[in-house]
Amino acid sequence: MGTAFLRKNLPWVIMSFLTVITHSQIKYPGSPDFNPATDTIFVPVVTIEVPEQLLKNKAKPVESRFKSQDFAVPVDVDITTDKFGVWYQNTLINKNVWLIRFKSANALSMNFMFDYFQLTPGCKLFLYDKNQEQILGAFTHKNNKPWNTLSTLPVIGDEVYVELQVPLYSSYFGDFSIGKVGVEQISGVQTKSTNDEWYDQAAACHTNVNCVTVDNIQQQKRAVCRIIYAGSSRCTGTVINNLEGDKTPYILTAAHCFTSEYLANNAVFAFNFESPDCTTQDAPLQSISGSSIVSYSNNLDFLLLRLSEDIPTDFNVLYSGWDARGIDPSNTYTIHHPQGAIKKISIDEDAPAVGTFNESYFDPNTHWLVFDYETGSSEQGSSGCGLISDENYLIGTLTGGGTTCSATIRDYYQMFSHAFNDYSEPDEQLKAWLDPANKNLLTCEPLEGSLRGMAEVLTNLTPIDSVKTKKQEIGWGYVSGHNYQLNQLFAEHFRLNGSKYLYGANINLAAIYSSDTNQSVVFTIWEEGAEPGNIIYEKSISIADMEGNLEEDIFKFDFDSSIFVHNGFYFGYRINYYSDTFAVKTTSLEASANHAFTAINGNWQMLQLNDNDYPASLAMEVLAFDYPPSNGSLPDLTPLKQVQLYPNPSENQFQVFFKEGVEGVVTITMYDISGRPMYRKKIINPDPNIPIIHNLPGGIYIVAISENNSRISTEKVIVY
């Protein structure tokens, strides 16, 4: 890198640095090395001054009926590691570290746009405030984009540190440069927050989404995201499903927010930003940086984006269903981020009309018109939010409307049915992307982003067991990893009564270190037997990737497909011996039965915690289902009301008999064993017996029954 390095905690080192004054988010685990409160290394300062004319422009009142929001002023900078900042070396963590800090007087927050960003594996970048109450990162090589840029969420406060960590073994960290800093300067009293400065800035007439506990709303909220673009503006978007159910990371929003590929590349998408309950509280964020434009039309107000990477399963998003039929709903609701605040909900208990948004060039009679809301409102920052029908399908996206909190707001939503295929070119419509196989279906069911929370957790650990890192008592290394005996194979025995479909695993790591980026661990499932039998499944994962994806020493991953096992299996790992280290935690000596095995010279034997042959278990969990999990969601099997299906088995019809009365809208959905919805019937105020007539092929089906959008029972039916 051609730069002299300082050594942290070594007082005799001479510091070398450059200073400058200028006028002008998926994140991965890790933590900053530098602590502004305790470390004494001088960190050079870049002072950001916002030109007065830009502040005046931002202060002008919003006159447009569009509901996108400008909240910050982007300031041009040109910051690189070879011209600015300070380098030092910390041998305790085997890293070279580069640091710089940014200050802007009276700033409420700062966000950063890297006009070049490409890191090599093993390197980590962090942004944080001076008290480290808010830390963004680690950003790693996994955040590299094809367009070589990266944008971040705002960091609260008037002073922000940027820290780069480079492994000692790496002679090249890649490169990056910071091209813009979005500075938010707001006069008046602001609610202070450690996660987001605008969480409580929406108008008082709004309602927190978690004040409404109806099941379908609590499900739909997980499809909503907040979008920051240009480092200065905000809209709302919806994660949307396609008819293939393949979890393509599509976001639907409004075209008036932006239609520039540059802005799409540098947009930041924040998920799960909501108060944990009905009160107004701050909340943590999960974010993805970058997207590309898929389609939009100059005559319709929709924009379909594809995120730069898949949405992680731990975001627990919902891929929203949709309806392109253009059928009038009896009532609607929307979930949005007004003024960039935590999620709010607005409910219109009446049917919308069809109207024309006259403030732009959009085609006439292509908008839903909501005259008013019985609950909530909309505001700048709400643009692009989805209008959801009484059947829980997305049917529109917000363009604009009247004054927030007014008695008659007259909000206009771009009709999904017109955006679907009014125009024939693929880049001017939704159908080509949401129905890629041309199935010509006009509705699409929602899709769960992750099944992890629904899985059964298989483990051999008991409530009295504790796990620990166990080193060899003779020789170097770990009992359950690299050691002087050169053990390569380790396995945990899981005994079952019957069959399971395996979905993923959680590994509690005792030690992990890689001297380069080429070493990996092969996770393996073996057949049941007195010892591990034939290999059923293997997945190789690099040690560097695991090291960068730990959650409190836990590494979580999903298998590439569901794995069928019967009456038991072995799950474990194979390691190689280079200069890397990998080990899994084990139970303490109180373990009551042995479940862990290792192979020496190809011979399997009981894993010993010490020379006394104490039994052991490896601290690993396997996620499993009774049915093969699909991209969709398997229904909850806990009934709230007693329901009987008769006859069962049956051919092409059966009766649904309610032992208790039901009222309102009852929905009956049949899923196949892969979780796909195959049949749906909706009836209002039904009799106690509901006939179901279908033409489904023989097999086992799950029948999910909902009353007024709340699941009341789930049953199995056999069709022959």
- CATH code of the domain in which 669 resides: 2.60.40.3080
Domain carrying residue 316: 207-448
For residue 420, give the H/E element and its range. helix 416-421
CA distance 607 to 472: 12
- The rounded Cα 714 to chain-centroid distance in angstroms is 28
CATH for 249: 2.40.10.10
Query: Which token pair is 410?
Result: 């007259």
Please check whether residues 400 and 461 belong to one and the same domain: no
CB atoms within 10 A of CB 313: 18
User: Which range is least confidently modeled, 42-56, 75-89, 161-175?
Assistant: 42-56
Please state, in angstroms and as integers, the Cα–Cα distance from residue 334 to each residue in 419, 440, 454, following that order: 18, 27, 27
Please check whether residues 227 and 154 belong to one and the same domain: no
> Which pLDDT value is given to residue 284?
67
> Which pLDDT value is given to residue 662?
81
Q: Which of 360, 107, 146, 154 is nearest to 256 (CA)?
A: 360
Does residue 4 sit within a domain?
no
Contact yes or no for 453/316 (Cβ under 8 A): yes
CA distance 126 to 163: 5
**Of 448, 470, 503, the domain-final residue:** 448
User: Which range is least confidently modeled, 115-124, 177-186, 662-671?
Assistant: 662-671
Residues 6+ apart with CB under 8 A from 6: 13, 15, 16, 41, 86, 87, 88, 89
Please check whether residues 225 and 167 belong to one and the same domain: no
Residues 6+ apart with CB under 8 A from 435: 242, 243, 441
For residue 418, give the H/E element and its range. helix 416-421
CA distance 454 to 632: 12
Please check whether residues 441 and 491 belong to one and the same domain: no
> Which pLDDT value is given to residue 14?
25
Does residue 3 sit within a domain?
no
Does residue 189 sit within a domain?
no
CA distance 538 to 526: 9
For residue 535, give the H/E element and its range. strand 535-542
Please check whether residues 253 and 118 belong to one and the same domain: no
Please check whether residues 304 and 438 belong to one and the same domain: yes
Q: What is the mean pLDDT of the chain?
A: 84
User: Which range is least confidently modeled, 368-382, 397-411, 671-685?
Assistant: 671-685
Average pLDDT over residues 674-682: 76
Does residue 192 sit within a domain?
no
pLDDT band at residue 15 using 50, 70 and 90 as cut-offs:
very low
CB atoms within 10 A of CB 486: 11
User: Which range is least confidently modeled, 192-196, 238-242, 316-320, 552-556?
Assistant: 192-196
Please state, in angstroms and as integers, the Cα–Cα distance from residue 443 to each residue in 439, 500, 675, 716, following that order: 11, 32, 17, 25
CA distance 703 to 705: 6
Q: Averaging pLDDT over each range in 281-290, 463-472, 585-594, which range is the top one?
A: 463-472
Instruction: Give the model confidence (pLDDT) of 525-560 as tens digits.
Output: 999 999 999 998 999 998 888 876 777 789 999 898
Instruction: Give the model confidence (pLDDT) of 695-707 as tens digits.
Output: 888 877 878 888 8
Query: Which token pair is 419?
Result: 């955006």
Does residue 613 surpass a pLDDT of 70? no
Does residue 20 surpass a pLDDT of 50? no
Does residue 66 sit within a domain?
yes
> Which pLDDT value is given to residue 344?
94
Percent over 90 (pLDDT), the chain: 50
Q: Which of 295, 310, 217 is nearest to 252 (CA)?
A: 295
Query: Which token pair is 200?
Result: 């409580």
CA distance 193 to 174: 34
Please check whether residues 290 and 338 belong to one and the same domain: yes
Does residue 62 sit within a domain?
yes
Does residue 488 sit within a domain?
yes
Does residue 677 sit within a domain?
yes
CATH for 41: 2.60.120.290
CA distance 317 to 332: 21
- Burial class of residue 214 in the structure, from the number of CB atoms within 10 Å of its CB (0-12 exposed, 13-18 middle, 19+ buried): middle
Contact yes or no for 334/343 (Cβ under 8 A): no
Does residue 296 surpass a pLDDT of 60? yes
> Which pLDDT value is given to residue 638?
45
**Of 413, 448, 483, the domain-final residue:** 448
Pick left, alpha or beta for residue 665 (phi over 0 → left; psi -120 to 50 → alpha; otherwise beta).
Answer: beta
> Which pLDDT value is given to residue 706?
80
Please check whether residues 410 and 495 belong to one and the same domain: no
Please check whether residues 431 and 458 belong to one and the same domain: no
For residue 281, give the H/E element and its range. none
pLDDT band at residue 619 using 50, 70 and 90 as cut-offs:
very high
Does residue 23 surpass a pLDDT of 50? no
Contact yes or no for 720/698 (Cβ under 8 A): yes
What are the phi and psi torsion angles at 81 (to 5°)?
-70, -20
CA distance 191 to 455: 39
Q: Where are the beta strands (DSSP E) in 230-317?
A: 233-240, 250-253, 268-271, 286-289, 291-296, 303-307
Pick left, alpha or beta for residue 143 (phi over 0 → left; psi -120 to 50 → alpha; otherwise beta).
Answer: alpha
> Which pLDDT value is given to residue 579?
74
Q: Which of 396, 360, 366 is nearest to 378 (CA)?
A: 396
CATH for 565: 2.60.120
Number of domains the chain contains: 4
Secondary structure class of 365 (helix, strand, coil) = coil
Q: Answer whether the bond into residue 647 is a cis peptide, omega within 30°.
A: yes
Please check whether residues 229 and 133 belong to one and the same domain: no
Of residues 652 and 404, the one with the higher pLDDT is 652
- Burial class of residue 454 in the structure, from the number of CB atoms within 10 Å of its CB (0-12 exposed, 13-18 middle, 19+ buried): middle
**Of 401, 431, 448, the domain-final residue:** 448
Please check whether residues 436 and 511 belong to one and the same domain: no
Average pLDDT over residues 626-647: 61
What are the phi and psi torsion angles at 671 (to 5°)?
-110, 145
pLDDT band at residue 195 using 50, 70 and 90 as cut-offs:
very low
CB atoms within 10 A of CB 612: 7
Average pLDDT over residues 167-187: 88
Please check whether residues 405 and 484 belong to one and the same domain: no
CA distance 672 to 622: 24
CA distance 651 to 400: 51
Secondary structure class of 596 (helix, strand, coil) = strand
- Burial class of residue 453 in the structure, from the number of CB atoms within 10 Å of its CB (0-12 exposed, 13-18 middle, 19+ buried): exposed
